[in-house]
Amino acid sequence: MGSSYKKYSGAGNTFAVCEAASLSDEECSRLSMQTGTDGLLALSDSSVADVAVRIFNSDGSRAEMCGNGLRCLVFHVATQRGLSEVSVETFSGIYKATVSSSGQVTVDMTKEDWNFRPVSLGKSFFPESRMFWLNTGVPHLVVFVSRTLSEEEVFDYGRKLRWHDVFSPEGVNVNFATFIGNKEIKVFTYERGLERESQACGTGAVAVALSAAFLQPIGLQVYIKTRSEGVLVVDFSEDRKKVFLTGPVKELKLSEESIV
């Protein structure tokens, strides 16, 4: 196809960014499976924002939104155009973001309705745990567990929950969350479209933080520690009507697949 792209890491979550106004969805889907990243961000012009993006998972499927992908895209656009603030048109709406001099990217993740609800799946899945479903741009299940799960457990339980009949037909991203401090949570996420655990998940971090706020007082800032050992920060406004996601972004060499 001859398309050029750049690679970025958002707290360990890797993406290829491609100037793709002339590429069809089918071409972008094929390219997303060839980049060796977690997804492809297909950049084009927008009449309502600074840029528009089509998001494709590593399996070629289309995604409505992606928090860390959005942060990588904003970093790319800000660097290329000399901006510190960028607005992005996505399938889930328009998002606004800022880039700091240290490479931290903050996205306003606020939605009018998170469609938040408790979930009960009986005794077959973590009967001692609290589970919540919500949509932070894409659907997420948050499972609070009392211990850190192994990679094998995240894959096995994550796959079963991702395809559970309750979440049919679109399925769900699955986050296993463990409090490791009053304001710090360790999170492992099994992602749709990757069909495996990701090193980090931005929309998942927001889902976990919002669910944690329902369980106990956590203040206005939560630290989400990812599998990559990166840290994503979720901030709330006083009335909790505004939610912001902040984390690091780095450009990768094209030979690199993952870096924090």
Active site residues: 66, 201
Q: CA-to-CA distance for 222 and 213, rounded, in angstroms? A: 9
Q: Which amino acid is at 52?
A: A
What are the backbone angles phi and psi of residue 111, rounded to the nearest 5°?
-125, 150
Six token digits for residue 252: 């990768």
- For residue 195, the tally of other CB atoms under 10 A from its CB is 17
The percent of the chain in helix, strand and coil, each rounded to the nearest 5, is: 20, 40, 40
Q: At which residue do the structure tokens 């790319």 appear?
A: 76
Q: CA-to-CA distance for 83 and 60, rounded, in angstroms? A: 30
What are the backbone angles phi and psi of residue 55, rounded to the nearest 5°?
-110, 130
Q: Which residues contact 127 (CB under 8 A, 6 or more apart)?
A: none
Q: Which residues contact 140 (CB under 8 A, 6 or more apart)?
A: 133, 134, 172, 173, 174, 175, 203, 204, 207
Q: Does 127 sit behind a cis peptide bond, omega within 30 degrees of 0 on the bond before it?
A: no
Helical ranges in the chain per DSSP H: 25-32, 67-81, 151-162, 202-215
